[in-house]
Structure formats: structure tokens, C-alpha cells
Amino acid sequence: MMRAQPRLSPGRRLAIPLAVILVLGAIGVAAIARGPGVVELHARVAEAGGFSPASIEVVAGQPMRLRLVSDDMTHGFAIGKMDQPNLAIVPGQPVETELRFDQPGRYVYYCTQFCGPGHWRMRGVIDVLPAKGAAVRGSEPPPAYVGLGLDIDAPHPAAALPSRKPSARRGAALAGSIPAGIAAQAGSGRKSPEDIWRALRDNAVFGGLSDDDVWDGVAWLWLSAGSQNGLPRAATLYASNCAACHGASGNGDGVMAAFLASGANLSADPGAPIMRGQTTVSPTRFTDPAVMLGASPALLEGKIIRGGMGTGMPYWGPIFSDADGRLLVNYLWRFQFNDQE
């Protein structure tokens, strides 16, 4: 049995055009506010959510427009391994940027403005999908520490230590006497300063030199191996990304060091959920010869790329380019070796 359709009242007849206007208006306002195809990315301190969304998909070759909005304090935005300039995200001042990724793969965006204990957790992922018919992404070649099979978590203390800070300037006097084979080993990235010191110490050419004089030769080898041109950039990278924990002087005394020194912790409430294990450790002191002189450049690079397993050290592999990673490693040696006197 059919029911007769009630006649629409004049008010209800008005509802249809009003609804159309309302919908179009909403679309218009949103389009003005965001623009077509704009992804609005909100930034909050990590304890309040970090980046939201934390994951974005885009097809290779297609432009993507991001509108960056801070919900609490000034943050920064950059994409790892890309030469795009950092953007400041200031509350009340949204900023837009257009990105296009030509290569499929996984890109990580991160906060570049130190914003608190969880700063390093402020990251998100852009998965760039291959265009239709294009090849899918392959795996990247592993870094040196993986290829060498280094256990970067194993203790690596140096047993032989200098009694003064080794000087590359003093060591330059030995440059012409250092055998090419040892110099090549020093430049390979696989040997620690202590390894090379022992190789020089055992060489008859240096039999008449003191241990500290030989260390000066090691300092010269180490600092001359790295590019001097990259020092300003390395110093900036260190100040922006490392000093908060490791300290500006490399002494492990950055502003975040106190937060990281907590050990195992159990709740005092017997009914509370139980958590066991070590949480974080104190930041490495780059000024400690026992730690640094037993480490090879490949090992230090691994520590930076993979981070500290459960120690609070972030993994920088998705952030730093290979060149920047090497610059940082070269920079760290300057906490051990002097090139000014």
C-alpha cells in the first residue's frame, strides 16, 4: 500500500537551496583556508601528540602542499636527507610549502626546533608511492658499520691513552714519516685511533718518540683525513641536534642530560602496571679518551645512524645525509684532538 507523500511546507522547500548554499559555502571557506589538495599538518610537543598526521602518502611526481600549523609553541619542519630549508612553525602564523618527491621511498619529516624532552620524537613519515607502472622502491645499500658487521653496542674502551690532548699541529711534523699503509688504514674508517697508535708505536721509525708524540701523529692523521670545509656545517649540525644531550663542549652535560640519567624504575604502587628494565643512560662524553679513542669512525657513524638501542639516543639514519653523518663524525674527533696548538 502506497503512502501519499506529504506536501512540503514553504519552509521545507527553502531547506533544499539553503542546504546547497551551506555545503557550497563550507567547501568555499575550506578551499580558501586550505586550498585544494592541502594537507594540514599540526605540530604539538611530543607529549601532546607531536605531528598530526604522523603519516602521509603521496604518489611520486605529484605535488603535495602542506599547511603547517603550530598548536602550542614554535616548532620547526624539515625533511630528512633533503636540501629543503627548515621552516619555522610559529603559533598563529601557519605556513604553507609545496613538496614534490620524484623518487618513491620513505621520507621522514621532523621538528628542527628544540621543544622539550620529547623533541626527538617529533617525527612523521611520508610514504612516496611509485607512480602507476613505475618500479617499486628497492632496499638502500647498508652503511659501513652494517657491511663490516660491527657490533656497535659492544664496549670499546681504549687501553692506551695519551697523557695530554694530542695535537695535530705537532703531529704534522711526523707526516712525512708515516708509512703509506698505516695512513691508508687510518683513512679507511675501520680502525680506531688506538689501533693506529699501536701500529705507529710498533713501527721502528717511531721508536725514539714518546707515546704522546706518537699520539700527535695520530691526531694529525685523524684531523687531516676530514674536510676542513665542512666544519661550519658540522658545528651547526652538532649544535642543533647533539648538544642538547651531549653538551656544547661534548662533555655529556647538555640541558637534557638530567632527564636521560634515570635508570630502572618500578612503581611504588603494588597494584600498578609493572615496568622493568633500563630506560635511558647518560649521554656519551665525547671528551672521554677511553670512549672515543677506542672507537672507529664506522662505529661512531653507526651510533649516529642507528641510535642507541633503548638508551634514548635517537636514530638519525632517516635524517642526516651520508655526507652530513661523516661531517659529524669528523667533528666529534675534535673533542679529542687539538688542531690549534
Partner 1 sequence: MPIVPTLRALRDRVQVRGTRSRFLISAFLIGAIGLAACGGSARALEPAVSMAPMSDMPMQVQAAPVVVQQAYRFAAVNPELMKQIPCYCGCGAIGHTSNYACYVSGMLETTKLEFDAHALACGICVDITQDAMRLSGQGKSPGDIRAYVDLTYSKFGPSNMR
Read off the C-alpha cell for 155: 664496549
Contact range with partner 1 by CB under 8 A, out of 119-127, 181-189, 222-230, 322-330: 119-127
**265 forms part of the interface with partner 1 (CB under 8 A):** yes
Residue placing its CB nearer to partner 1 in the complex, 49 or 187: 49
Kindly indicate which of the ranges 22-30, 159-167, 190-198, 208-216 contains the residues binding partner 1, using the contact rule CB under 8 A: 22-30
Which is nearer to partner 1, 47 or 211 (by Cβ)?
47
Q: Binding pattern to partner 1, positions 24-63, x when CB under 8 A?
A: x-xx--x-----xxxx-x----xxxxx-xxxxxxxx--xx
Residues 132-161 that bind partner 1 (CB under 8 A): 137, 139-143, 145-146, 151-153
Query: Please, are residues 315 and 212 in contact by the beta-carbon 8 Å criterion?
Result: no
- Under a CB-based contact definition with an 8 Å cutoff, are residues 241 and 271 in contact? no
> Is residue 164 at the binding interface for partner 1, with CB under 8 A as the rule?
no
Decide if residue 276 touches partner 1 (CB under 8 A): yes
Q: 56 to 115, contacts with partner 1 by CB under 8 A? A: 56-59, 62-65, 106
For residue 56, the number of C-alpha atoms closer than 13 Å in the C-beta half-sphere is 27
Gap between the Cα atoms of 118 and 239, Å rounded: 17
Return the residues of window 235-264 that contact partner 1 according to CB under 8 A.
260, 264
Closest CA to 298 of 180, 108, 156, 120: 156
Angle at which helices 193-201 and 180-187 cross, to 10°: 170
Q: Nine-digit cell at 196? A: 693506529
CA distance 250 to 232: 16
Name which of 44 and 334 has its Cβ closer to partner 1.
44
Please, what is the minimum distance in Å from the beta carbon of residue 339 to partner 1?
32
Locus of grid cell 649540525: 237
Give the total of residues touching partner 1 (CB under 8 A).
75
What distance, in Å, lies between the first and last C-alpha atoms of the chain?
103
